[in-house]
Amino acid sequence: MGENLFWVSVVAVVIGMLLVAFGGQREPGAKDWPASVQWGYLALVIGGFGVLANYMSFTAVMLVFVLITGAVWALDKWLLAKKRDASGAPTTHFVEYSSGFFPVILVVFLLRSFLVEPFQIPSSSMRPGLVVGDFILVNKFTYGIRVPVLNNVVVPVNKVERGDVVVFNYPPNPKVNYIKRVIGLSGDVVEYRNKRLTINGKPLKDENDGTYDYLEQGMAMIHNDQFKETLDGKTFKTLNIPDTPVVALGQVSDFPYRDQCQYDDNGFICKVPAGHYFMLGDNRDNSLDGRYWGFVDDKLMVGKAFLIWMNFSAPSRIGTMIR
């Protein structure tokens, strides 16, 4: 989260606390609390989420909210409600709103953790298949049911396959999600030289598919050669820019298992360590991917991208399956 958004969230929390504290009381016989109190709790939830998101993942923040509101709901259900019935005391707004938020937050948490998670394409690294503005859905259970936050597989389902388009936590900063294509599995030797991929000594089948031009950030027109590439039976399109280096050597970081890779002016070769994957963007000359920051640990996997559900600037893309 940017610094400005963090401070906006802090301000929202402060305003929310003031509104809750000084927003007034519920009138006798009224069903709802004053609007100022309602807005105060809304500001607390949104602001609190923003503050915590600066320090932990979205899933972890959701879990914190589930635990807090769930504890209040359980305490009210099995203890506080009985005491109120006996004494005739009214429900406090904290208990009422916490108990009301709990089922909503719980459902969202369960859906995002175990079924599907939405994701917005932030860059052109997966063109031509995915473009900026695509809103996609990610299947969370296809690679196994995982413990939230820890992300360990507890119920295996399917294995990650070469050619899958996946969302994962960015290794240098796991709070950020990335989307790329799986090129190498554990033990694979991935070589990308002179803009051609080789996996375990076998060159991938590719064929020229004309050209592909797009406007980058509304400013510069990018001209690309387009190819059809086939990996383990999956055919997809990739882009590269003629006469552009295969890898910008100055941008390669000192990542874990860096000794498993060798780089030169014509490309690189890497052996994927156990429990890891190697990812590349389909837009090969405009992608910050595994060649620069290394391998993706299985614990960082989020899920498999499978559907474009919205694109406000290109409605014809809605419903497109991701391959």
pLDDT in tens, the chain (323 residues): 567 889 999 999 999 999 999 988 888 878 889 999 999 999 999 999 999 988 888 889 999 999 999 999 999 999 999 888 888 888 899 999 999 999 999 999 999 999 999 999 999 999 999 999 999 999 999 999 999 888 889 999 999 999 999 999 999 999 899 999 999 999 999 999 989 999 999 999 999 999 999 988 777 899 999 999 999 999 999 999 988 999 999 999 999 999 999 999 899 999 999 999 999 999 999 999 999 999 999 999 999 999 999 999 999 999 999 99
121-317 CATH choice from 2.10.109.10, 2.60.40.420, 3.30.470.20, 3.20.20.70: 2.10.109.10
**CA-based Rg of the chain, rounded to a whole angstrom?**
24
Judge whether 180 counts as a catalytic residue. Answer: yes
pTM exceeds 0.85 for this model: yes
125 in active site:
yes
Closest CA to 116 of 92, 95, 138: 138
Sequence spans of domains, the chain: 3-116, 121-317
Of these residues, 180, 237, 271, 304, which one is catalytic? 180
Catalytic pick from 125, 237, 271, 304?
Answer: 125
Instruction: Report how far Cα 90 is from the mean position of its chain's Cα atoms.
Output: 42
Check if the beta carbon of residue 166 is closer than 8 Å to that of residue 290: no
What are 115's two structure tokens? 């079924």
For 151, the 3-state DSSP assignment is coil
